Amino acid sequence: MANTYIKIKEKEIPVIIRNYRNTNSIKIYFRGNVLNISKSKYLSKKRMLEVVKQNEEQIYKQYLKIISKENDRIKHWYSGEKISYKGEDYIININYMDKKRIKIMLDKPNKIFELEIPEILNGKDNKDIIDKYVKRFLSIKTKEYLEDRLPYWSKKMKIEYNTCKVGDAISKYGSCIPSKKALHFSNRLIMLPKDKIDAIIVHELSHMSYANHSKQFYNLVQEYIPNYFEIDKWLKKNVNKVMI
């Protein structure tokens, strides 16, 4: 998740900066609402900021457009909204009840995402509270799924890992620290189709062998996920599937 910000006009824009040895160019693009900057490790921060300044107007307009679209896509937790679970659309159904806690249930046969909410929250701005419970629910379901698929792919690829943690990242679905053999995944993973989740798992496990995105790295990924680039394109195009 991005923890650095660049101020453009009045906006504090989250940014992720990646440094690479084998490139002389600088690429600036958005993934979700996060500005991604890929550059040579030898390019100074001063020069990078100069390039950002040169493209400031374009970046600003693109960010406003993305934020506007995100506001349209985020869940407001009304009955009838849709939420993705394992790649399938579930209809959200809200029930206000005489209870103290929010309860979430899946009606899989009918594809219904049931939310039982304390009556005391009825009519109030309860999005932040519901978000918290839904994210916790997604974390539990993502961990359950990873407990099955991660060992499967680890054994199949003959690549070991030490730890696996699930967090609330939205700028990327997974990350890896090869030196510690540590894997991190987003709790939004469970919202994606199963083949997309497998591709992300294979991607992160492959980083245990290749820390960068070299040709050898992608060859390894494609050995197990032949249509990886097609899936990667789908993930970038369908980022709205994991909006909460």
Largest Cα–Cα distance in the chain? 62
Asked whether residue 105 is domain-assigned, the answer is: no
Please indicate, yes or no, if residue 174 is contained in any of the structural domains.
yes
Give a yes or no: residue 102 inside a domain.
no
Residue 96 inside a domain? The answer is: no
For 110, residues 6+ apart whose C-beta sits below 8 A from its C-beta are: none
CATH code, 156: 3.30.2010.10
User: Would you state the pLDDT for residue 87?
Assistant: 96
pTM for the model stands at 0.73
Bridge partners of 25? Answer: none
116 within domain boundaries:
no
242 pLDDT above the threshold of 90: no
Query: Hey, what are 55's tokens?
Result: 């493209």
Q: What is the mean pLDDT of residues 76-101?
A: 93
The last residue of a domain, from among 56, 73, 90: 73
**Encoded tokens for 229:** 């680039």
Over range 30-35, report the average pLDDT. 85
Residues 67 and 144 in one domain: no
Domain final position from 73, 104, 127: 73
* Cα distance between residue 149 and residue 199, in whole Å: 11
Domain that holds residue 64: 4-73
Residue 98 lies in a domain: no
What is the reported pLDDT for 72? 64
Dihedral sign for Cα atoms in the order 115, 120, 123, 124: negative
Asked if pLDDT for residue 131 goes beyond 90, the answer is yes
Domain count, the chain: 2
143 and 238 together in one domain: yes
237, 163: one domain:
yes
- 88-97 and 34-40 beta bridge pairing: unpaired
pLDDT > 50? residue 1: no
Residue 115, in any domain of the structure? no
- Tokens encoding 228: 């990886």
In the predicted structure, residue 94 carries a pLDDT above the cut 50: yes
Residue 131 falls inside a structural domain: no
Residue 180 confidence (pLDDT) above 50: yes
Sign of CA dihedral 205, 177, 36, 214: negative
Would the pLDDT of 181 be above 60?
yes
The pLDDT assigned to 222 comes to: 98
